[in-house]
Amino acid sequence: MSKLARPRRTERKKVGTHGSHRVTMHYTGTLLIMSRLFFVILLSGVLVGCAHKQPPQRINITMKKYEFVPAEVHIKRGQRVLFVVTSADTQHGFHVEAFGINEPVKKGQTAEVEFESDRAGTFPMNCSIICGAMHDDMVGKIVVE
């Protein structure tokens, strides 16, 4: 509080040379209210910011011979995303080269990959573990908007 009191006194002296004492008091009072208001706004902004930090958006993807379901995934740039990938038949590899993602997805198990894209565009996802004759045809895409 002593830190606050000092500049207030200086302010009063400065303005006092120009106007009446009442005006000075009013002026410092307004300044004080404004600075407090500013602090409250700042604080509430920080609190609201914290409240808005949401958990990642869950996106379920099923891999099976020889497709991704869904084949196309749309996400927002800057949004944290959690891919929950399962295999409906055999082992596959969830591979998105553009984001450095390569996770084996075993039959009956779930692989979770969390990531966030800072760039927009369309990025292919494919299978990185040979799963059959048409393994190479197993492609999907991630569209970052």
CB atoms within 10 A of CB 34: 10
Name residues contacting Cu ion, limited to 43-102 (CB under 5 A): 92
Interaction of residue 131 with Cu ion, rule CB under 5 A: yes
Q: How far is the CB of 126 from Cu ion (least distance, A)?
A: 8
Give me the half-sphere count of Cα atoms (radius 13 Å) on the Cβ side of residue 27.
17
Beta carbon of residue 40, minimum distance to Cu ion (angstroms, whole number): 56
Report the residue from 75, 127, 142, 144 that binds Cu ion according to the rule CB under 5 A.
127
For 139, phi then psi, to 5°, come to -135, 150
Sign of CA dihedral 145, 141, 97, 114: positive
In angstroms, rounded to a whole number, what is the distance separating the alpha carbons of residues 6 and 17? 18
Residue range at the interface with Cu ion (CB under 5 A); choices 73-81, 100-108, 110-118, 122-130:
122-130
> In the complex with Cu ion, which residue's Cβ is closer, 35 or 110?
110
Interface contacts to Cu ion, rule CB under 5 A: 92, 127, 131, 135, 138
